[in-house]
Amino acid sequence: MLNNKGRAYSTSGGSILNTVREYGLFEDLDIHTPLNSAVMLDDGRDEDSVERMGKGHLGESMESLFISGRSRYTKAEDGEKFNPYEDNSGTVVCLRQDDFIVIGGDTRHSSDMIINSREMTKIFQIGDLFLTGTGFYADSHEVYVKMAYEIRQYEVEGSINVHSAANLLSKILYSKRFFPYYSYCVLSGFENGRPYVYSYDPVGSFESVTCICNGSGRSMIQPLLDSFVSKKNWNNAGQAQLSQEDCVRLITKAFNAAAERDVKTKDNLEVYVVRENEVERKVFPLRRD
């Protein structure tokens, strides 16, 4: 019998293959062996071998039907795979102290072993807020463009604070969770005189941090920040904060050390020292090889 979708079923609930074949539902499948196992072959094989062969051909045909990787629409050359992302990377550092934020990032834009640009910033300013991104540069720039547009729309009615902007960025990243932006973002800003730094993963999860390093030099620089800024491995560490000059000196030395080992962290170091109503930018040279 046929159900209301035109499929053949027995009264016990199983499919009747003969009926399916009669209605042509598998007419595109290349099933060479008849489904009637009572037919004998000329070479003397018995009906059990015929039945086994029929099941084997049916399984192979179903596999070729449902495995799209072997279909003519998605078949690629051996060794070639489509990758929508590219790691242009570089390194970015953000840290905060009592009344200021220091943001540092190199300016190299590279693809594999190719240098696309030596003057590509990874630090974007949106009003009083600062956004950084590492990973796929096109995705980071798109996040910046969307963020700037949404903030301008919001500020038609009034200024946006850093906490609202942090939630907005989370929503922008989460909205692409099924095909996420390959961008590790950090948002920095002030609220009532206090500095805030928010770190994000590519799908929008975020947290407030004291210091963070993202990018290809993370494994070399983050331990320095944990030690000198967060004092995580110090015994009886006090609450003394680093001065602005010490923070800039720390970031400069960290990037110079990373540039010796990391081919994606090179050329120039941009450093922004941000206070509530003041922004200072400095540029330091790095290795250019």
Domains of the chain, CATH where assigned: 91-285 (3.60.20.10)
Considering only CA atoms, which of 200, 254, 207, 195 is closest in space to residue 227? Answer: 254
pLDDT surpassing 90 at residue 119: yes
Considering only CA atoms, which of 195, 174, 186, 249 is closest in space to residue 215? Answer: 186
CA separation (Å) from 59 to 19, 51, 110, 217?
18, 12, 47, 50
> Quick one: which H or E segment has residue 244?
helix 244-261
Confidence band of 47 (pLDDT split at 50, 70, 90): low
Distance separating alpha carbons of residues 202 and 180, to the nearest angstrom: 6
Distance separating alpha carbons of residues 35 and 159, to the nearest angstrom: 73
Tokens at 1, concatenated: 């019998």
| Segment 164-211, tens digit of pLDDT | 999 999 999 999 999 999 999 999 999 999 999 999 999 999 999 999
Lowest-confidence pick of 25-39, 130-144, 163-177:
25-39
SS3 of 1-69: the string is CECCCCCECCCCCCCCHHHHHHCCCCCCCCCCCCCCCCCCCCCCCCHHHHHHHHHHHHHHHHHHHHCHH
The single-letter DSSP state of residue 153 is H
pLDDT surpassing 50 at residue 65: no
Sheet of 123-126, strand order: 123-126, 129-135, 183-191, 194-200, 206-208
pLDDT surpassing 60 at residue 72: no
- Mutual angle of helices 244-261 and 218-228, in 10-degree steps: 150
Q: What is the mean pLDDT of residues 267-277?
A: 95
Q: What is the mean pLDDT of residues 31-60?
A: 52
When comparing pLDDT for 1 and 87, which is higher?
87
Distance separating alpha carbons of residues 144 and 236, to the nearest angstrom: 41
Q: What is the mean pLDDT of residues 257-278?
A: 94
Distance separating alpha carbons of residues 120 and 110, to the nearest angstrom: 10
Q: Give the CA-trace dihedral at 144, 134, 120, 123, to 10 degrees.
A: 50
Specify the pLDDT at position 232.
Answer: 84
Instruction: Name the percent of the chain lying above pLDDT 70.
Output: 72
